[in-house]
Amino acid sequence: MLDRTHRLRRAGTTAAVAIAAVTLASCGDSTGPNNKQNALRPAGKYARQILNLTEPFFWIAVVIGLAVVSATFYVALRFREKPGEERAPKQVHGNTALEISWTVIPAVILAVMAVPTVATIFSLAKKPTGHVVNVTVTARQWWWQFHYDDPGNGVETANELHIPVGVPVSLTLQGPPACSPTPCYANGVIHSFWVPALNGKKDVVPGRKQFLKLEADKPGTYLGQCAEYCGLSHANMRMRVIAESQADYDAWVKSQQVATRSEAALERGVDAQQWGCATCHSFKPGTAGAVAPNLSHLADRTAFAGDIYLVNFDNLWRWVYDAPSRKPMGNLEQHMPNFSAAGMTQAEAQKIACFLLTNTATNPSPPPECAGK
Ligand code: CUA
C-alpha cells in the first residue's frame, strides 16, 4: 500500500515537472507571446476577424467542457456503490425527453455558432477592392518567391514581403511553374503560407491558384512560416512581412525597380560566369530567376535562404561556399550546390559575398571585411 502511494507520488511529481518544463519553454523571448508569430496577437483586421471568432467559441467550449466533466464526476460519486450496499441500480431503457434534449441543445448551439463562422469564412474569402497591392507568391522548395503584379510595378523579391500599412494586400498563391523534362515537378509539393499576425493560413497547391489577403495596422515586421510539411527544410521555409508607411513603401518599390548595376555587370562581377550563378538566379530587377531568388537587390534584404540567415558577410560567404551544409536540401532536383566541392576556395566565396553586399544594395555599406576585396 505504502509502495503504491510512493509510486503514485513519484509519477505525480514527474508529470508536474514535465508540464512545467513544457510551459516554461514557451516563455522565452524568441518563442513567447512576442515572437512576432502569434495568432492571439493579431496585427491586422483579417487576423482580428479570426480571433474575434475564436475567442467566444473558446469560452463556450470551456463552459461546455466544465459542465460535462462536472456532471460526469457528480454522477460517478453520487451513484457509486457504497460500502455494504448490495443492490443493482435501477434498470432503464431509453428516456425520450433526455435523448431529445441532448440532441436538440447541441444542435442549436452548433447552428448558432455556424452563423458567425460562415460569415467570417465568406468575408475572408472576399477579394479586396479599391487601393490594393497585388502580389503573386510562388512556393519553392524551400523559399518564397514574391512578384508584385500591379501594372508598371514589376518588383521581384524573395522571402521578404514589403507592404503598405492599412492597405489590403491580395496574394495569389501558386506552386512552381510546370516545366519539362518532368523532374521539375519534383519541386512542386504542397506548402502552406502563414503569417499568423496578419491572417490565417492557406495551402499552396501545385497546379492551382489560391487567394489570401493580408493587412497590417501599423508598421512592423511580422514573421511567417510554411505550415505544411514539405520536406527536409520545411522548418527553414520562413518569411517576413515588413509593413511600412505608404511613403516608405513607395520609396522601397522605387528602389527595387531600379538596377543598382546592369544585369551584365552584376553577372560578370559576381563570378565572372565561372560558377554559373546566372543559370538559376536573375540579376535584373522584376525578373524571376529560373529556379532561384532574384539577386538584383539581395543586399537590401534582412535575411536570405528562406529567411533563416541574416544578410551579412559571414553568413553570405559561407552560404556561397557550401550551401547544403547550412540548410539541408537532400536530393532536391535543383538547389544551391556545394561549390567548395566543385573547387571554389574560401577566398573566392568571400569575394563573391563582398561583391553582392556592395553592388546589390540601394545604399551600399560594405562590411569592413570587404575592404579591398
Ligand atoms: Cu514549405 Cu513546409
Map residue 340 onto helix, strand or coil: coil
Q: Which long-range contacts (CB under 8 A, 24 or more apart) does 124-129 make?
A: 124/46, 124/49, 124/50, 124/199, 124/200, 124/213, 125/211, 127/170, 127/211, 127/213, 128/168, 128/170, 128/213
Q: What is the pLDDT of residue 15?
A: 75
Domain limits of the chain?
35-79+98-257, 263-370
Compute the C-alpha angle 106/109/112, nearest 5°.
Answer: 150
**How far is 176 from 180, CA to CA, in rounded Å?**
12
DSSP class of residue 308?
T
Given the candidates 2.60.40.420, 2.130.10.30, 2.60.40.1180, 3.20.20.80, the CATH classification of the domain at 263-370 is 2.60.40.420
Query: How remote is the CA of residue 239 from the centroid of ligand 1, in Å?
Result: 11
What integer pLDDT is reported at residue 84 of this predicted model? Answer: 81
Distance CA 138, CA 210 (A): 11
Res 26: pLDDT: 58
pLDDT value at residue 22:
66
The residues with which 244 forms a beta bridge, in sequence order, are 164
* pLDDT tens for each residue of 200-217: 999 999 888 999 999 999
Do 35-79+98-257 and 263-370 share a fold?
yes
Q: How far apart are CA 183 and CA 178, in angstroms?
A: 10
Beta carbons within 8 Å of 248's beta carbon, 6+ residues apart: 219
CA of residue 183 to ligand 1 center, whole Å: 19
Q: Please give all residues whose beta carbon lies within 6 A of any atom in ligand 1, as ranges.
A: 139, 142, 191, 226, 228-230, 234, 237
- Within the chain, which residues score under 50 in pLDDT? 1
Q: Which atom belonging to ligand 1 lies closest to the Cα atom of 228?
A: 2
> What CATH class does 35-79+98-257 carry?
mainly beta
How many other CB atoms are there within 10 angstroms of residue 48's CB atom? 17
Please tell me what DSSP assigns to residue 231. S
Specify the residue with its C-alpha closest to ligand 1, atom 1: 191
∠ CA 220-221-225, nearest 5°, is 150
* pLDDT for the residue 60: 93
Ligand 1 centroid to residue 281 C-alpha, Å = 21
C-alpha 311 – ligand 1 centre gap (Å)? 22
Q: Which is the closest atom of ligand 1 to the Cα of 235?
A: 2
| Paired strand residues for 134 | 170
Nearest ligand 1 atom to the CA of 142 is 1
CA nearest 315: which of 300, 328, 302? 302
For β-strands 156-158 and 143-148, DSSP reports them as antiparallel
CA atoms within 13 A on the CB side of 250: 3
